[in-house]
């Protein structure tokens, strides 16, 4: 399919398994979830054994560094080729409009299409139309790049955010869903909730979406939304989830591009990355904190380390502090208020401290945990671990923070609980256009 090069988010040739495929086994949650809970992935493997599933064409990050990665990658590539040839028999030339019922009953609307990687960069200081919302840790790209190289399919967990207060892109499609061909509907595995998807292929609807996206990119409208950004390059979309997956697709494209002719670069499948687009203004988009658990450092030592570190930054723990962290460990919780931090957000303070702490204590490790209950359990009685619970980030600050101040700190926020992350459903061929 020839894709018109107009916007940074475009129609795509989207592949799906046959009608009636059980979503409860076909769709699995994003691989960067439950990284410290291997039992989740063991349950998922038991559910999908011997059955078609996107779990068989992705590599959960819980398994990175655990050995047998080469064998897993070989099996993933074999399964991708098999699915592409024999299983992914349905095709959508356009977008997939979807509705996801979340745990709180709210309905999250999304539109699956292709991000033009030429309109995106994760390089510090870059100002393209598509930008990461948080710092990209380049060290996290190589293991993902190993999966991308040689892959004949991609299936996305990337979620893009548009700041669309007029509700011009997604919402008009939702009002017409009853006349669109339904592609799938069902329950997602292991508490993922309900999802349904419809094909958006009509030329008039594709043009309508294209016009709405182009309007979001108009400088005049952008500067009205962000007066302080007047004169700066326009940002159309921000990466909400899956930042490192999109960065990996970009790294692969830049690796491949020098070997292509100018004509080949225009529409090569590796130039694009399948993703879901959401409206950050939707009430269903909930921005939650990502908590930190330090393994091998108990709560008392962590508080002492934090106190010393803050003093070195000209900051301190104080009842009048404007940044709040909650320290958990050894069966107790302590509210820590920080005054005078050089970082504008509590998550920035926590992240800078943790990175310095890891350098000072090579045996200590950190994991980024969705959900306060899960973080608390990892630092419970009998462990030598500590958890730092972070406050939620106001979602209205995401676009403003990226536009005016660059990327937010690493793992600054999460869009919903782990089970509400994007599940792999749709696929796209990387072997043809």
pLDDT value of residue 52: 97
Enumerate the CATH 3.30.70 domain ranges in the chain, comma separated: 290-391
Strand partners, 92: 14
- The three-class DSSP label of residue 214 is helix
- CA 213 vs. chain centroid, Å, equals 21
pLDDT tens, position by position, 133-181? 888 888 888 888 988 998 999 999 999 999 999 999 999 999 999 999 9
Higher pLDDT, 112 or 421: 112
Lookup: tokens for 246: 């999109």
Strand partners, 96: 112, 199
pLDDT tens, position by position, 238-281? 998 899 999 999 999 999 999 999 999 999 999 999 999 999 99
* 247 touches 130 (CB < 8 A): no
Is it true that domain 290-391 has CATH number 2.60.40? no
Q: Is the pLDDT of residue 416 over 80?
A: no
Identify the CA nearest to 302 among candidates 279, 272, 332: 332
Provide the whole-model pTM.
Answer: 0.81
Angle CA 62–79–153, to nearest 5: 85
d(CA 181, CA 199): 6
Instruction: Return the C-alpha torsion angle 114, 119, 124, 125, nearest 10.
Output: -140
d(CA 272, CA 112): 12
Lowest mean pLDDT among 25-34, 307-316, 400-409: 400-409
pLDDT value of residue 2: 38
- The three-class DSSP label of residue 217 is coil
The three state secondary structure string of 143-198 is HHHHHHCCCCEECCCCEEEECCCCCCCCHHHHCCHHHCCEEEEEEEHHHCEEEEEE
Mean pLDDT of 193-201: 97
Q: What is the distance in angstroms between the CA of the first residue and the CA of the last residue of the chain? A: 6
pLDDT value of residue 140: 83
d(CA 1, CA 423): 25
Q: Is the pLDDT of residue 1 over 50?
A: no
């Amino acid at each position: 399919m020839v894709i018109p090069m107009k916007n940074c988010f475009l129609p795509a040739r989207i592949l799906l398994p046959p009608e009636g495929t059980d979503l409860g086994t076909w769709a699995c949650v994003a691989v960067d979830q439950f990284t410290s809970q291997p039992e989740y992935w063991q349950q998922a493997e038991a559910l999908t054994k011997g059955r078609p599933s996107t779990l068989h064409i992705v590599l959960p990050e819980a398994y990175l560094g655990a050995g047998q990665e080469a064998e897993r990658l070989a099996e993933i590539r074999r399964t991708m080729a098999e699915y592409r040839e024999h299983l992914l028999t349905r095709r959508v030339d356009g977008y997939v409009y979807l509705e996801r019922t979340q745990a709180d009953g709210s309905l999250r609307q999304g539109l699956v299409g292709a991000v033009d990687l030429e309109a995106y960069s994760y390089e510090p200081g870059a100002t393209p139309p598509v930008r990461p919302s948080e710092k990209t840790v380049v060290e996290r790209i190589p293991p993902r790049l190993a999966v991308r190289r040689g892959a004949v399919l991609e299936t996305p967990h990337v979620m893009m955010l548009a700041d669309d207060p007029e509700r011009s892109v997604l919402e008009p499609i939702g009002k017409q869903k009853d006349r669109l061909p339904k592609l799938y509907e069902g329950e997602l595995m292991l508490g993922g909730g309900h999802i349904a998807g419809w094909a958006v292929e009509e030329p008039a609807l594709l043009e309508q979406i294209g016009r709405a996206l182009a309007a979001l990119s108009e400088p005049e409208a952008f500067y009205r939304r962000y007066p302080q950004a007047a004169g700066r390059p326009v940002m159309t979309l921000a990466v909400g989830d899956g930042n490192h997956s999109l960065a990996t697709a970009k790294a692969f494209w830049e690796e491949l591009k020098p070997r292509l002719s100018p004509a080949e670069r225009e529409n090569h499948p590796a130039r694009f990355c399948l993703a879901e687009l959401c409206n950050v203004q939707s009430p269903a988009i909930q921005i939650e904190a990502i908590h930190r658990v330090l393994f091998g450092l108990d709560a008392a030592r962590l508080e002492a380390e934090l106190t010393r570190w803050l003093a070195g930054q000209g900051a301190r723990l104080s009842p009048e502090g404007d940044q709040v962290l909650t320290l958990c460990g050894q069966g107790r919780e302590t509210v820590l208020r920080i005054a005078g931090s050089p970082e504008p957000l509590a998550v920035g303070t926590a992240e800078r401290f943790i990175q310095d702490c890891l350098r000072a204590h090579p045996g200590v490790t950190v994991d980024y945990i969705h959900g306060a209950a899960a973080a608390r359990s990892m630092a419970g009685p009998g462990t030598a671990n500590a958890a730092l619970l972070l406050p939620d980030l106001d979602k209205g600050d995401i676009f403003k923070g990226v536009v005016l101040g660059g990327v937010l700190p690493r793992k600054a926020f999460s869009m919903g609980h782990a089970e509400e992350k994007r599940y792999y459903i749709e696929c796209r061929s990387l072997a043809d256009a």
